[in-house]
Amino acid sequence: MSIVGLKHIFNATQYSMAGLIVLLREQAARLEVGMFLGSLVVLMLLGGRFSDYLVVVLIFCVTLSVEATNTAIESLVDHLSPEKSDFARDTKDLGSTSVFFLLVANGLFLSAVFARFMGWVSW
């Protein structure tokens, strides 16, 4: 790998970490991190399999990615449309909906793990 390629990777990592700092200023993102940690505790208590942990980590990564996109959209909308408008409300609501569905997915997955733990399903 060339020096230019390594520099690009280094710079991109710095930009990503700066974005993560901005994201973690958002209460929703901090709550999602807490829910993720709680999910790991639940998996430990239920004797989760490696694949269970992997799925929870993947859902968490996608959730934070979508939360970052939602936060960027909200910031952009606030800048472009500081007054109340249907456009601003609908745009923000759609971003929120995308995060909501990922949280539902995580809840459904943990419910399925719990059902397996209780012996209600066998997979």
Q: Catalytic site residues?
A: 67
| Residue appearing with tokens 């995308």 | 98
Residue 26 is given by DSSP the state S
> Long-range contacts for 45-52 (Cβ within 8 Å, ≥24 apart)?
46/113, 46/114, 46/117, 47/117, 48/113, 52/109, 52/113
Dihedral of the alpha carbons of 109, 40, 99, 62, in degrees to the nearest 10 = -90
